[in-house]
Structure 1
Amino acid sequence: MDGPRHDVPRHDVPEPDALTRPYWEAAARGRLLVRRCGACGRAHHYPREFCPHCWSEEVSWEEASGRATLYTWSAVHRNDLPPFTGRVPYLAAVVDLAEGPRMMTELVDCPQDGPRAGMPLEVAFRDGVPVFRPGPGRAAGPAG
């Protein structure tokens, strides 16, 4: 059978709820959002109804710059959950957004031997899901 099966549950996106719906709607339009606290001024991700730093409920959505640096990564060679089976091997990553929060994601357009801690990244979107790739002007290959 060609193409994705629509009767198989996907495990790469959560079910949006009232709180996260703005995040997923923005991502579908190619925009990355974070939550920012009006009390302490710090941004956070994943979306919460309160600030995880000061517990204030004075939080709102803000468009992120889309810039990040690579914190850590791992090459995944086996994942039996749809749709990951067809993507292996892939690079699971944790990135530090320019706004401060740390985010789990996938690193794309980068060879498995190319990632380096601290390398600049930029957001990209695949099927409405934010992923990250090497930033502009950054060679994706090994440093030399």
Structure 2
Amino acid sequence: MEKPAPVPSTASAFYWEHARKGELVIQGFEGTDFVQFPPNDRAERFDIDTDPIPVPVAGTGTVYSFSVLHQAFHPAFVEDLPLVLALVELDDYPGIRILTNILEANPEDITIGMAVEVVFEERGEYSLPQFRPSQQEVAA
């Protein structure tokens, strides 16, 4: 059984297009340094009325929080159990957190504050950004 693929909205289409190319981006706004995630139809700040733009990010971060799932929420994920669901805070934009999975790791080894890096999993015609323990940390 195939895992569900992303269904882009008008606001998130740019995010999924970049992910398809192996690039992680968040939403910014022309002429400002304000960024937000997840993408939205408008800025979360009332004083910004400029057009949204994609803002590239490094794709590194730290585990802010996580939970280990032992029961699949969809039949296609049974083989992935236990599955680690996490909030990853981006290194280059503190405060921006992405809800994701942690791959390539033993759930017992994952800790809050662990360094992680983005990886992309193909899902249909899109790619889903997920994270794994930082290879730099493993190599050190």
**TM-score (norm: length of structure 1):** 0.80
| CA RMSD between the two structures | 2.1
Mapped partners of 1:84, 1:113: distance in 2: 19
Mapped partners of 2:101, 2:79: distance in 1: 14
Question: How many Å apart are 1:85 and its aligned residue?
Answer: 2.3
- 1:45-90 Cα deviation digits (max 9, x unpaired): 1001222144523231111110111101111111141422232111
Q: Which runs of 5+ in 1 are unaligned?
A: none
Which structure is higher in helix share? Answer: 2
- 1:67 aligns with 60
- 1:112 aligns with 107
Q: Which runs of 5+ in 2 are unaligned?
A: none
- 1:57 aligns with 49
Q: How many residues align?
A: 132
Mapped partners of 1:119, 1:55: distance in 2: 35
**What are the within-5 Å matches in structure 2 for residues 75-86 of structure 1?**
75-86=68-79
- 1:138 aligns with 137
